[in-house]
Amino acid sequence: MLDYIKEVYASTLETVGVVTFYDDDGFFYEIFESDNGGYMVEVFEVLEDEVKTMVEVDGGLCTGSAFDAIGFLINEEE
């Protein structure tokens, strides 16, 4: 099931050029096509202040496929 979800997100990333989502722990994830090839993967913590500040906490360039970029963020718990 997890690979199917990754495939759906990867297909969206290839078609639209960006995928964003929140998790239950208050993190916002953004993956988008890099101008230099590959995909930028960024993780922000959403602070519950008066303006909902987003602070970047992780990220980097994935030079692999869209599926690889999605895999950076969505991993199966073992």
Mean pLDDT by 10 residues, the chain (78 residues): 86 94 89 92 88 87 92 67
Instruction: Provide the token pair at 58.
Output: 């992780």
Instruction: Provide the token pair at 38.
Output: 């590959």
Q: How far apart are CA 26 and CA 30, in angstroms?
A: 14
Q: How far apart are CA 40 and CA 47, in angstroms?
A: 22
Question: What's the pLDDT at 1?
Answer: 57
